[in-house]
Structure 1
Amino acid sequence: MSAARPGPAASAALRRLRSAGGNGGSQIQGTPGIPRRSRRRKSVAIAYEPGQGEGAESRRPRWEPPNWREQLERIREMRRSRDAPVDDMGVQKCYDSSAPPQVRRYQVLLALMLSSQTKDQVTSAAMLRLRQRGLTVDTVLQMDDETLGQTIYPVGFWRNKVKYIKQTTAILKQKYGGDIPSTVEELVQLPGVGPKMAHLAMHIAWDSVAGIAVDTHVHRISNRLKWVKKETKNPEETRVALEDWLPRELWREINWLLVGFGQQTCLPVNPRCSQCLNQDICPAAKRV
């Protein structure tokens, strides 16, 4: 016997059901009575850290200082001869390039520790004296404080540096097998090692760009050129401000460029604005 045909109201309801779920099945197959979840997913906002996520850089509105590309190109031109103290006596020139990699990395870190508040010429001379004694983790640990102090004198704050060097070297021996850490986070935990040193150690010792190395030269020039949204009070604030907009492929170069530029032209006192190619587009230039 054939089944009774549904009435008009039932037929309309069935048509609505089919159009909503198809095949009369707006329920999970094999589970009668449980409505199927909507295929439409809720939109969830994802906050990316700077530089993370596909297309994050292009989606985030980026502030850029006016004229910075032209200013940078002119600084490159002024630095073309590579004859500033940092070029011949900077930390990248202070280690023994023929030493084993682990020893080279240790010497880079030690040179960075000595370079704080010290001219490149003085740091270079101190490193040469240390290397003449055989500069390794073990030789420094065997050296008494007086001898180490006499060897590194007259670097700035040499007494404190003797203490920091001994403490850091002992940690490297005990915790890192005589090598240096390979992350900024670990490097800044070492006595006497700040963010600038850590980033330069990553650049020079590990050939890794983890951030911009900002010293007093980079800090001063970035503020003079208005490469920061607002005036920064110290190098670490400047590093954060620069990393917010400066393209990452320039992070390694910017320290070397600005340090040499600061040693020769954009001096701390009485900058040589009349010799600077950026005089017409520098907000701080003394125009004559």
Structure 2
Amino acid sequence: MECRAPAHLGSHTTGADDVSAKKKSARSTRPATKKARKKSATKKAAKRRKASAPRRPSPVARARAVEVLARLGRRYPDADCALDHADAFQLLAATILSAQCTDARVNLVTPELFARWPTPAALARAPQEEVEQVIHSTGFFRNKAKNLIAMASRLEQVYGGDVPRGMDDLLTLPGVARKTANVVRGVVFGLADGVVVDTHVKRIAGLLGWTKSADPVRIEADLMALLPPESWIEASHRLILLGREICIARRPRCDACPLADLCPSARPAAG
């Protein structure tokens, strides 16, 4: 039902005014144009990039990080990859198996795996059920077996059985993400594109105040912004050793930690 203005309040209002008001109302409720939607999407993307950009460390933070690395270097001068391997292919396979599994467990499994299928060509032809039986104890064995066979097949078909050096090439292999690619490039080829972020590195970086993120990709970006590039490979190995021996997730031994006075999360000594 349409409400009309009483005569004493302005019965002289024209129909043109009503039409104009309706047009304005229609414009206000009209769906956003393609240009407006694009502008909105651009703004949102910019906000996401800003939110995901690594923090810019202060000179004090950089200096403290360098001291942390120096102490870890003295504590673990010979730190290296804990996965047993004889070549790039074995390290690649072992690192795929290490997802959600300890390196010690992987090292118990890989001798039989590589004895039965020592090359990419051999593993590419392996029955998946047999690979699953060998790697069963590493967890997620069905998916890992599928990825191992597919990875070996791609190495054989695309790269002539060799493990590629390039980050982009490595990331095309089934079961390989940045962590695995960083491990292979760092350990085998001595090339550092980033920092290996495993569960220990993730935890300790947070405790040290080096990152506020729980996302491994963001954590890696924060560490790359903070740590000198020449330290990226060794830093990962040493943080992993610290996490296994001292900064244990459930019961950290802060009283025995060489970084206790530099760590904002360190627990005070008892007594």
Structures share a fold, TM > 0.5? yes
Which category describes the TM-score, using the shorter chain as reference length? 0.7 to 0.9
Task: For residue 232 of structure 1, give the secondary structure of its aligned residue in structure 2.
Answer: coil
Equivalent position to 1:247, from 207, 228, 241: 228
Q: Would you say 1:73 and 2:70 are equivalent positions?
A: yes
- Aligned positions of 1:156-171 closer than 5 A: 156-171=139-154
TM-score, normalised with respect to structure 1: 0.69
Q: Which has the larger radius of gyration?
A: 1
- Matched length: 212
Q: What is the rounded CA distance, in whole Å, between the counterparts of 1:70 and 1:244 in structure 2? A: 16
- Aligned positions of 1:136-175 closer than 5 A: 136-175=119-158
Gap change, CA 1:116 and 1:243, over 3 Å in 2 = same
Is the Cα contact below 8 Å between 1:196 and 1:215 reproduced in 2?
Answer: yes
State the match for 2:213 in structure 1. 232
Equivalent position to 1:216, from 191, 199, 217: 199
The two structures, once aligned, show a CA RMSD in angstroms of 1.9
Q: Would you say 1:63 and 2:73 are equivalent positions?
A: no
The alpha carbon displacement at 1:71 in A equals 2.4
Q: What is the rounded CA distance, in whole Å, between the counterparts of 1:79 and 1:143 in structure 2? A: 39
Q: What is the rounded CA distance, in whole Å, between the counterparts of 1:207 and 1:127 in structure 2? A: 23
Task: For residue 249 of structure 2, give the secondary structure of its aligned residue in structure 1.
Answer: coil
Identity within the alignment, %:
31
Q: What is the rounded CA distance, in whole Å, between the counterparts of 1:246 and 1:274 in structure 2? A: 25
- Aligned positions of 1:1-288 closer than 5 A: 63-64=58-59, 65=61, 67-80=64-77, 90-91=82-83, 94-96=84-86, 104-228=87-211, 231-288=212-269
Q: What is the rounded CA distance, in whole Å, between the counterparts of 2:159 and 2:78 in structure 1? A: 39
Q: What is the rounded CA distance, in whole Å, between the counterparts of 1:62 and 1:281 in structure 2? A: 16
The alpha carbon displacement at 1:81 in A equals 7.5
- Greater CA drift, 180-189 or 165-174: 180-189
The alpha carbon displacement at 1:73 in A equals 2.4
Task: For residue 244 of structure 1, give the secondary structure of its aligned residue in structure 2.
Answer: helix
Moved >4 Å (runs of 4+): none
Q: What is the rounded CA distance, in whole Å, between the counterparts of 2:189 and 2:64 in structure 1? A: 33
- Greater CA drift, 121-130 or 178-187: 178-187
Which amino acid letter does the alignment assign opposite residue 75 of structure 2?
A: M
The alpha carbon displacement at 1:205 in A equals 2.5
1:163-187 CA-partner distances (Å, limit 9, x unpaired): 1111111111111111122211221
TM-score, normalised with respect to structure 2: 0.73
Q: What is the rounded CA distance, in whole Å, between the counterparts of 1:71 and 1:252 in structure 2? A: 15
Is the Cα contact below 8 Å between 2:117 and 2:126 reproduced in 1?
Answer: no
The alpha carbon displacement at 1:80 in A equals 4.6
The alpha carbon displacement at 1:62 in A equals 5.5
Is the Cα contact below 8 Å between 1:216 and 1:235 reproduced in 2?
Answer: no
**Structure 1 stretches of 5 or more lacking a match?**
1-60, 97-103
Q: What is the rounded CA distance, in whole Å, between the counterparts of 1:190 and 1:170 in structure 2? A: 9
Is the Cα contact below 8 Å between 1:273 and 1:285 reproduced in 2?
Answer: yes
Q: What is the rounded CA distance, in whole Å, between the counterparts of 1:194 and 1:68 in structure 2? A: 26
